[in-house]
Amino acid sequence: MAQAARLNLRMQKELKLLLNDPPPGASLPLLSVDSDISSLSTIHAQIEGPEESVYAKGIFDIKIQIPERYPFQPPSVTFATPIYHPNIDNGGRICLDILNLPPKGAWQPSLNISTVLTSIGLLLTEPNPDDGLMCEASREYKYNRQAFDQKARLMTEKYAKGGAGGNGSSTQDVQTNLNPSMVY
């Protein structure tokens, strides 16, 4: 029970931080000061595509699952909006070191949801093709940047417009809605 009380207190502090000082380009449209923290196991966030990136003008829905052992275990974070990115796969899973425990990852209990959202925003600006989940996207990013940029912009225009997943498609729908040369 003490663990639940600590998690509740921690989440209250994080919620206040997220609402009062959200990370650049991030918003939490379904959260409010009145949100019931005790039952908060999923947070829905939105991240705007950074202006200097191929994701500019896109709004990407992100789902953050808070584990029972948080903050000693990292949250599980996935993109609900399809995106063409070397470090984000078809299911929306993200390859980012702070989303995994050591020794392979860099998660620490001192990190928080705000840090995670900031890091994801930075990943949109600076993908890491050397540690990619998507081979074709990684290869294109490194060796055919023009083709990568074109596909990433097309996916952003198609799926990340106006928030709430753009036209309502999910990452699972992406393969059926793109032509075969665009499937990654």
Q: Answer for the pair 77, 120: CB distance below 8 angstroms, yes or no.
A: yes
Helix then strand then coil, in percent of the chain rounded to 5, is 40, 15, 45
CA 122/CA 119 separation, integer angstroms: 5
Catalytic residue among 95, 98, 117, 124: 95
Whether 135 sits among the annotated catalytic residues: the reply is: no
CB atoms within 10 A of CB 160: 25
CA 99/CA 102 separation, integer angstroms: 10
List CB contacts of 123: < 8 A, sequence separation 6 or more.
Answer: 85, 87, 94, 96
Q: Which residues are catalytic?
A: 95
